[in-house]
Amino acid sequence: MKLPILFAAATALALSGCAGATYKLVSPGPAVAVAGNAMIVAPSRAWNKTPRGASDIPQEENWTANGPLLDMLSFVGGVSDGQPIVRQRRREQQRVPTFRADMTPQDVVSMIESFYRIRNDAANFEVTAVQPAQFVGSPATRMDFDYVGADGLERRGRAVAAIVNGKLYMMALDGARLHYFGAAAGEFDALTASARIRG
């Protein structure tokens, strides 16, 4: 199957933008530590761990299968009360809310929405579903969403988050709406089911 020209161009841009950056192969396995060793997951296929970005917090890790512009799998583990989920400059006017241990499920959804709106410059962000879930052995919130990125590409996403012992644990999948999100959604659901807090 040939990629549409838009996706081929996006892939080339993603690879050229990462020239000099080091990707690391993540092999399938029953116990892969992620997010600063805060969690363990069991990927059933190979991924590429992306280089750290300027806005990444220490507890964050990102993987991609086809390039960051086409799909991105994010892990955030063990964020403490009062800590941000994204690194931002103090002078920035729009800010993602900091995590609070007493957040309600709706607060968590709003925080994740702000994360995508601000860090990914998302337009037309729409939460399409919110439901209770299980994650890292605890009650969690799962949300599905659609948005348009700054590059005009329509994207779809899914995130699941749990607050355990006052700390935030989260996974999110973000991919091009046409093909790439759907191609990774099953693996994402399997990873969230396998996830556990390390130790």
Give, for all 199 residues of the chain, the pLDDT tens digit.
334 333 333 443 444 444 457 999 999 999 999 998 999 999 999 999 999 887 788 899 999 999 999 999 999 999 999 998 877 666 555 567 899 999 999 999 999 999 888 877 887 899 999 999 999 999 999 999 999 988 889 999 999 999 999 999 999 999 999 999 999 999 999 999 999 999 7
pTM, rounded to two decimals: 0.86
Type of residue found at 99: F
Please give the span between the terminal C-alpha atoms of the chain, in angstroms, as a whole number: 44
The domain tally of the chain equals 1
177-199 burial, b at 16+ Cβ within 10 Å, e below that, comes to eebbbeebeebbeebbebbebee
94-117 burial, b at 16+ Cβ within 10 Å, e below that, comes to eebbebbeebebeebbebbbbbbe
Q: What pLDDT is stored for residue 143 in this prediction?
A: 98
Contact 120, 150 (CB under 8 A): yes
Rounded-to-integer distance, Cα 31 and Cα 120, Å? 30
CATH of the domain at 26: 3.40.1000.10
Rounded-to-integer distance, Cα 16 and Cα 177, Å? 22
The whole domain housing 59 covers 5-197
Q: For residue 79, give the nearest of 130, 25, 115 by alpha carbon.
A: 115
Rounded-to-integer distance, Cα 53 and Cα 61, Å? 10
Q: What pLDDT is stored for residue 16 in this prediction?
A: 41
